[in-house]
Amino acid sequence: MTLEFKVSTFIPATPENIYAAWLDSQKHAEMTGGTANVNAIVGEDFQAWDGYIEGVNLELIPNEKIVQSWRTVDFTESEEDSHLEITLLQVENGTKITIIHSNLPPHGGQYQSGWDESYFQPMKNYFEDRK
């Protein structure tokens, strides 16, 4: 049985700035605090959080959507990659970012709080500091 969840929050930045930071190695690392090797090319591999996360870019709609296969070092070899869909919606004074994380293994429930702790909160700080 696989798990799925949806999380969203407000980030005080434009969709363009969030999209650019997510797919740029240096900015992604500054934004999250972990080294990253990311890119804006469909079909290309990526790594984030000091190699803890890896996957492949499946679909990229500039400034709107990022779809990736996604796994961590906690996945076993026999477990399939999970599916990550990130949408960016322009709202007043920023962006509503929504993550739908699906096809997670049974032990994948911790990633729901991980998105808030390891991405949303650091992203808010990153973009607040750049105002």
Q: Mean pLDDT of residues grouped by 10 in the chain (131 residues)?
A: 95 97 97 96 98 98 98 96 98 97 95 95 93 73
Query: Domain residues of the chain, as ranges?
Result: 3-128
The conformational region for residue 30 under phi > 0 = left, psi -120 to 50 = alpha, else beta, is alpha
Superfamily of domain 3-128: START domain (3.30.530.20)
| Helices 15-22, 121-128: inter-axial angle, 10-degree rounding | 120
**C-alpha distances in Å from residue 29, one per residue of 11, 38, 85:** 17, 9, 20
The residue to which tokens 């007043």 are assigned: 92
Residue 1's pLDDT is what? 81
Residue 121's pLDDT is what? 96
